[in-house]
Structure 1
């Protein structure tokens, strides 16, 4: 009798599951894509190392011109590569954050990256003033100081042949972030700074693993997995360090008030601005809110900035004619001076900015973002069903020949004003687009230009590996598996720089 009831109950559950999914399955079957198998879908395609998975993804995507349906177990993912389709989706009021972002929540909490609805709108309104350009100018001294330390540390590699510059760039980036976001430096943290960077990288990889290894998606399975135990270990360390810094900074904030003569709040790092932020009712951010936003800034800024710098230097090392144009522009702005870089200098370095933009086009640090339709979205070729995950394939969109002639060619002229105007604005979105656009994009751009300008005022960069030899992997952040291999030569016989 019990067995019979269990069979009946199982049948009812399966029927209910099928009945509620029939619309999604019907519309999903009308979207082109590789053959999916029962229960596992296309899941076996994504079995392997990150670089192998990324290669398989790119192979699938090249087979379809606008969109493709991929099933990870029972979960439907629709990948979009066309700027016009992306515009329809991102402008729709029927989309919200994809469910996959919840995998980051134990680590990043309800930060701007994760939150939705009224909390997202309120907190974004409180945080956005921190990223106003007038506030970012305060950090130029920090940017210059750490970029100069980087330049000096690279002297040991001059004339030594090719090496992976990633660790040098990563050290510079994490030190800048620690100082500008949390107000601490490597001397304060010691080897914890390196560990913090390492744990952020590890957590990013674990989140990526849970997305593509569909059997780890259900909480009931993930809870007892080795991946969960590893994740908890890293989160405990990062949360503990961040909470300690918040406590100390908060104490300092309330003791000194950090106010200038006019009584206005004066802050020196992002955490200060978060501590002082108040909404129209005089209510500020909670300690949990501040912790979430600080960790998100560290996560979003560290690997993305490092990889953009690495790809840019690799490409300049390959394309010497483009590097010549950058060096000419630097000479016009700075001459033979080794003075610090000012904000006015940043504005004058237009060709360098085009080079960075073109690097971000070909190698966006975040190669995709995800959305969840809460209602069907009609495109001109098909309908995207509610309940699926829509992958906005930034890397594919930015290599679309309809938007970028000869899209695989590294060509900074793609970002001349007249060429920008001729394109769909959604054809270039390395920092996302719309209300979810990265609030730190201006911060990242200024920092990247300062570091590149500092390096290229002192060194000439060379690289022997062509772009076709790049081995790419996308563990949340796009990277070169073999590292960013370059060689350096002094532009002059001596470096007239002294580290701070």
Structure 2
């Protein structure tokens, strides 16, 4: 066994070296006019990004030094970073550049070839199948799920009222994960903060995301063989095994309910807590997809919809805490909608939260959950008269830096929700704001996400004043799979 492993490692190394030399020579010839970071043999430029906590700052620094386009190597992969509006718009609007970067392939053991990782005709087919599940009239059915989970969130947050400060991120993560499971699969898992240490699903999802990003930053773990035998790889596969087992059981249970044509209500729940029909899961079953295909789509929705929404809610709460005048304006809007009533928010209420939507969008401008979008060049691509992106390279669209470009957003570091008032936003290039991506491969769930974010944030604001904590750390931004605050998001709450 040991000899076989050594031989396989040696063969993989030789293939990696050969591939590296052949590909890199041609790519270098086509990109001589693109500023490039220092490159070391085999590993490329990854030494610049070894500290995960500094990756975002490092990318920003190199963008400031080299301008809106520069390149670096991660092993044998050429990555070209684009942060200018024209360059990003050119990529996102091109109907032939729909293939995600090779790094998305690292997600396939978890989410298979779902909507995120598929390409070509397969992606078009999946998009067509899933589109009806995200029509607005379907999304309205989820309002009741939002309401029940925000009630639970408010109840648990009351335990923190009067404390000098606490990290709210765990509460938001639990609420967001609950909502995803209920709306995607019809399963109520009842994740509560006090149960987090014993909740395997929450741990498995968060760990899988963490291990994915660690793999991206380590070129020696890019080959599947090396990754599987590494400690990071073993932990990753353990996490996704737990997720897969849970999802498979849900699918099996749902199929049984549909075949037997049972009516679902609170008195007829399964051990998994199967609730009202889930449009996404039911749609996939009705299309006669295999369990493996359904599992891919459900896991895709979970991976894409849980952490992005939780991250945005956390940063929006941070902004509301930091800018009390903005919080007051949102409260005025909520008072106009609800008055003195404590009734749950309806679909019309959420639609009328127009200023809150501006606040959320401005938070997403400053703190986009997905800081970088990757596109693989399947052929040589003429980006402009000056630059060619060679076949096999990856364009990294640096959304974080685009959103802070002073040519696009005057005084970009200032938090100003008025940038997204309709009369202001219509004067701006629509591709200047793309936290949900844009163009043909924009996020299919962005309307769902906005509804959920409004529901959660408005519920918190209707019950609590969000105040600065006493002597607690400020946010420390770190780029993982999602933008995060390494230090958490500390706030202080008072009853409203």
- TM-score using structure 2 length: 0.89
C-alpha spacing 1:473/1:398, structure 2 compared with 1 (3 Å):
same
In structure 2, the partner of 1:126 is 129
- Please give the alpha-carbon distance, in whole angstroms, between the structure 1 residues aligned to 2:484 and 2:495: 27
**In 2, Cα distance between equivalents of 1:139 and 1:108:** 23
Q: For 1:324 and 1:12, locate their aligned partners in 2 and report how far apart those are by CA, in whole Å.
A: 61
Q: Which of 140, 156, 160 matches 1:157? A: 160
Q: CA deviation at 1:221?
A: 2.1
The answer to whether the Cα contact below 8 Å between 2:39 and 2:73 also exists between their aligned partners in 1 is: yes
Matched residue, 2:375: 371
1:255: Cα distance to partner? Answer: 1.2
Q: 8 Å contact 2:311–2:483 — kept in the other structure?
A: yes
Q: Is the Cα contact below 8 Å between 1:28 and 1:76 reproduced in 2?
A: no
Matching residue within 214, 217, 239 for 1:209: 214
Relative to 1, partners in 2 of residues 1:16 and 1:294: Cα closer, same or farther, differing over 3 Å?
A: closer
CA distance in 2, matches of 1:395, 1:12: 35
CA distance in 2, matches of 1:459, 1:484: 16
Q: What's the CA shift string for 1:177-204, capped at 9, x where partnerless?
A: 1211111213599879932121111111
Change (3 A) 1:257 1:97: farther
**Partner of residue 347, structure 2:** 343
| CA-CA distance at 1:215 after TM superposition | 1.3
- Cα distance in 1 for partners of 2:242, 2:29 equals 46
Task: From 267, 274, 282, give the equivalent of 2:283.
Answer: 274
Give the match for residue 183 of structure 1: 186
Could you say which residue in structure 2 is the equivalent of 1:97? 100
* 1:6 corresponds to: none
Compute the displacement of 1:449 (Å). 0.2
Alignment-derived partner of residue 480 in structure 2: 475
What CA deviation, in whole Å up to 9, does each residue of 1:234-271 have, x standing for no partner? 11111111101100011101211779xxxxxxx72144
Residues 253, 272 of structure 1: 8 Å contact kept: no
Secondary structure, aligned partner of 1:185? coil
Q: Does 1:256 align with 2:261?
A: yes
Report whether the alignment pairs 1:303 with 2:312. no
- How do 1:192-231 residues align onto structure 2 when only pairs under 5 Å count? 194-231=199-236
Q: 1:232 to 1:335 in 2, by over 3 A?
A: same
1:5 matched residue in structure 2: none
Contact 1:250 1:275 in 2 (8 A): no
Q: Does the 8 A contact of 1:127 with 1:277 survive in 2? A: no
Indicate the larger mover: 372-381 or 144-153.
Answer: 372-381
- 1:332-481 equivalent positions in 2, closer than 5 A: 332-380=336-384, 381-463=386-468, 469-481=474-486
Q: Where in structure 2 are the equivalents of 1:112-151 lying within 5 Å?
A: 112-151=115-154
The structural deviation recorded for 1:58 is 2.6
Partner of 2:245: 240
In the alignment, is the contact (CA less than 8 A) between 2:92 and 2:440 conserved in 1? no
Match for residue 44 of structure 2? 41
The 3 A distance-change label for structure 1 pair 65 and 470 is: farther
The answer to whether the Cα contact below 8 Å between 1:274 and 1:290 also exists between their aligned partners in 2 is: no
How many corresponding residue pairs? Answer: 470
Work out the CA distance in 2 between the residues paired with 1:213 and 1:152: 42
Alignment partner for residue 319 of structure 1, among 320, 323, 329? 323
TM-score, normalising length: structure 1: 0.88
How many Å apart are 1:469 and its aligned residue? 4.6
**Structure 1 residues 29 and 254: alpha-carbon distance in aligned structure 2, compared to 1, 3 A threshold:** same
Structure 1: gaps spanning 5 or more residues: 1-9, 260-266, 279-283, 492-500
CA distance in structure 1 between the partners assigned to 2:286 and 2:215 by the alignment? 35
Does the Cα contact within 8 Å between 2:191 and 2:199 map onto a contact in 1?
no
Structure 2: runs of 5 or more not aligned = 1-12, 265-275
Given that 1:371 and 1:389 are in contact with CA atoms closer than 8 Å, whether structure 2 keeps it comes out as: yes
> In the aligned structure 2, how far is the partner of 1:31 from the partner of 1:65?
10
1:371–1:117 CA distance, 2 compared to 1 (3 A): same
**Does the CA-based 8 Å contact 1:126-1:277 persist in structure 2?**
no
- Using a 3 Å threshold, how does the CA distance of structure 1 residues 13 and 205 change in structure 2: closer, same or farther? closer
Post-superposition shift, 1:418? 2.6
SS in 1 for 2:229: coil
Q: Secondary structure at the match of 2:72?
A: strand
Aligned-residue CA RMSD (Å): 2.6
CA distance in 2, matches of 1:187, 1:470: 28
Q: Check the 8 A contact 1:165/1:310 in 2, yes or no.
A: yes
**2-side partners of 1:128 and 1:193: how far apart?**
36
Show the 5 A alignment for 1:31-110.
31-48=34-51, 50-95=52-97, 96-110=99-113
CA change 1:139–1:82 in 2 (3 A) is same
Alpha-carbon contact 2:175-2:191 (below 8 Å) kept: no
Mapped to 2, the partners of 1:120 and 1:11 lie a distance apart of: 34
The 3 A distance-change label for structure 1 pair 101 and 17 is closer
Check the 8 A contact 1:54/1:473 in 2, yes or no.
Answer: yes
